[in-house]
Amino acid sequence: MSWHPQYRSSKFRHVYGKAASKEKCYDCVPITRNVHDNHFCAVNPHFIAVVTECAGGGAFLVIPIHQTGKLDPHYPKICGHKGSVLDIKWNPFNDFVIASCSEDTTVKIWDIPKHLLTRNITNPKKELLGHVRRVGLIEWHPTAYNILFSSGYDYKIMVWNLDTKEAVISNPVKIFDAHKDVVLSMSFNTDGSLLATACRDRKIRLIDPRSGAVLQEASYKSHKVNKVLFLGNMKKLFSTGTSRWNNRQIALWDQDDLSVPLLEEDLDGSSGLLFPFYDSDTHMLYVVGKGDGNIRYYEISPEKPYLNYLMEYRSHLPQKGIGMMPKRGLEVSACEIFRFYKLIPTKNLIEPVSMIVPRRSESYQEDIYPLTTGAQPALTAQEWLNGINKGPLLVSLRPGSGAVNSLPQFLEPEPLLTTTDMSQHQGWGGGMPLENMQKPSEIEDSWKQLKAEEKLPKNEQMCLSNGFDVFEYPLPKTENELLQMFYRQQEEIRRLRELVNQRDVQIKQLKLELRNLCMDTG
């Protein structure tokens, strides 16, 4: 019987990892020595945050993303916690708000100033008091604004609504007590209607994030789970952990049946944890080893064999933690589809590693950049608490196609789209709201809002529509500060162009709505 090799056609077969040059790394960063199994790093298109060593409490650094090179040893810190910081996460809808949790049993929400930090920040915007033991995990809801989940060593998961004026919140919206041991990992599905957890009791649980009801529970004996991850809309879960013989192991699960894994594979005999990351746009899965320098990556398919090994990025520098840049912060001109930030405590270094699809053309590659999750929330906190589920608002990464940066602004009503106009709206490349319909009264309000914004002075318009205000910055005194000012001004120009494009789109939509209304009334 002859053997026939199985060849797969994939545009991601030749993806390779490329480490940044020394000049584009972050050097002299005092990375934490804490042994807690977390990422210790959070990244967005403006800042990189990393947990650091600090005497007499917990602290983390927030560094502008373009401020590479050696870090000033006296660089200001965010240091309001009384115990070690265990987890940090940026608000997915506001690049200037970050959440942190600590051994001091609190969760704190911080406002990061738009200008360069000049002194330590010790006063948080909000403080969440509810856990009685240290808080090890925090997770923002993927589509609802200002909904935060926290998990502590009191075996409880708490749901917080931050959409209040109170500076200290001591009453969570909901408390889940379904776990009998410490929760090691939390992951949402795409629209945030399901929450998967991995617990130290070796069980994976599927939970309703509003009621806390356990929908499914996996108690597979031969896989000791550490981390669990939803694989987008593929109705599958991916977990990393250890086998009976203490080998590092990965497993793939059917969301509707957690009794037995679809796939189980031993990787190696190392003792470090495995951090999984999933890119739902490319269906690529990355497995990052803690304590080694390797990043394995796979392609997920809906049918057997489900998990297709692609390649492995190897490095002699072991990582203690890892950060991930959101898709809207990638360099699409270089065909970059993912970017990691490796924390290397042995050298006090943060090293960016880009995953690149080799292409000869320098034009925008639409096949590897489908519409991706944007930076605007699909729901308010109250809408989600009332039982509404919505998928994320999608944007195009094509340069100049629409705003993809997260700005501190609130939800605005979306214009009504007729079926004949839907294709035109998708062609503009902006956000694609699902199930949003606008009434005639709302159209009139939108006209009033547009006219009111046109009457504002230019400076006020800029402050309202942009994350950075160049007039707030002191005059640059060094070459590095001058370079930072240049980057900000370039981004300011780009954002203003995007704003003009959005206004043109809004005007066209409103004109079309008025025409439709006139035809209906006629």
At 30-39, the pLDDT tens digits run 999 888 889 9
- What the block records as the tokens of 148 is 């935060």
Query: Tell me: the pLDDT tens digits for 90-121?
Result: 999 999 999 999 999 999 999 999 887 889 99
Q: Name the CA dihedral angle for 291, 281, 261, 309, rounded to a multiple of 10 degrees.
A: -60
**406 - beta bridge partners?**
none
pLDDT at 296 > cutoff 90: yes
> Which amino acid, residue 289?
G
- Flag the least confident range among 235-244, 340-349, 447-456: 447-456
All structural domains of the chain, each given as residue ranges with its CATH number in brackets, are 16-373 (2.130.10.10)
Query: Tell me: the pLDDT tens digits for 411-442?
Result: 443 333 333 343 333 334 444 444 344 444 44
Compute CA 502 distance to the chain's CA centroid, rounded to the nearest angstrom: 24
What SS3 class is residue 249?
strand
Q: How many CA atoms lie within 13 A of 44 on its CB side?
A: 21
**51 - beta bridge partners?**
60
Query: Tell me: the pLDDT tens digits for 504-517?
Result: 888 988 888 888 88
What SS3 class is residue 413?
coil
- Flag the least confident range among 254-268, 289-303, 318-332, 454-468: 454-468
Distance between CA atoms of residues 29 and 50, nearest Å: 9
Closest CA to 156 of 140, 180, 189, 187: 180
Backbone angles phi, psi at 85, to 5 degrees: -80, 130
pLDDT at 7 > cutoff 90: no
pLDDT at 398 > cutoff 70: yes
Query: Tell me: the pLDDT tens digits for 176-217?
Result: 999 999 999 999 999 999 999 999 998 999 999 999 999 999
C-alpha distances in angstroms, 103 versus 97, 100, 496? 21, 11, 42
Q: Is 196 exposed, middle or buried (0-12, 13-18, 19+ CB in 10 A)?
A: buried
Pairing status of strand 126-129 against strand 168-169: parallel
pLDDT band at 466 (very low <50, low <70, confident <90, very high): very low
Average pLDDT over residues 22-29: 94
Contact 86, 61 (CB under 8 A): no
pLDDT value for 512: 84
Contact 419, 105 (CB under 8 A): no
**207 - beta bridge partners?**
195, 214
pLDDT value for 8: 66
pLDDT value for 310: 92
The CA-to-CA distance between both ends of the chain, in Å, stands at: 76
C-alpha distances in angstroms, 428 versus 378, 403, 419, 424? 19, 11, 16, 7
Contact 12, 357 (CB under 8 A): yes
Query: Tell me: the pLDDT tens digits for 40-76?
Result: 999 999 999 999 987 777 899 999 999 999 999 999 9
Distance between CA atoms of residues 95 and 408, nearest Å: 7
Answer whether the bond into residue 209 is a cis peptide, omega within 30°. Answer: no
Tell me the pLDDT of the chain averaged across its residues: 84
Answer whether the bond into residue 305 is a cis peptide, omega within 30°. Answer: yes
| pTM, full prediction | 0.76
pLDDT value for 34: 87
Average pLDDT over residues 341-354: 95
pLDDT at 323 > cutoff 60: yes
Contact 45, 378 (CB under 8 A): no
Q: The dihedral of CA 258, 264, 268, 269: what is its sign?
A: positive
Average pLDDT over residues 136-161: 95
pLDDT value for 195: 96
Contact 65, 43 (CB under 8 A): yes
Per cent of the chain over pLDDT 70 is 83
- Flag the least confident range among 13-27, 51-65, 158-172, 203-217: 51-65
Average pLDDT over residues 233-248: 92
Contact 61, 103 (CB under 8 A): no
Higher per-residue pLDDT: 219 or 348: 348
pLDDT value for 474: 59
> Which amino acid, residue 300?
I
Task: Quote the DSSP letter at residue 144.
Answer: B
Pairing status of strand 394-395 against strand 47-52: unpaired
Contact 153, 133 (CB under 8 A): yes
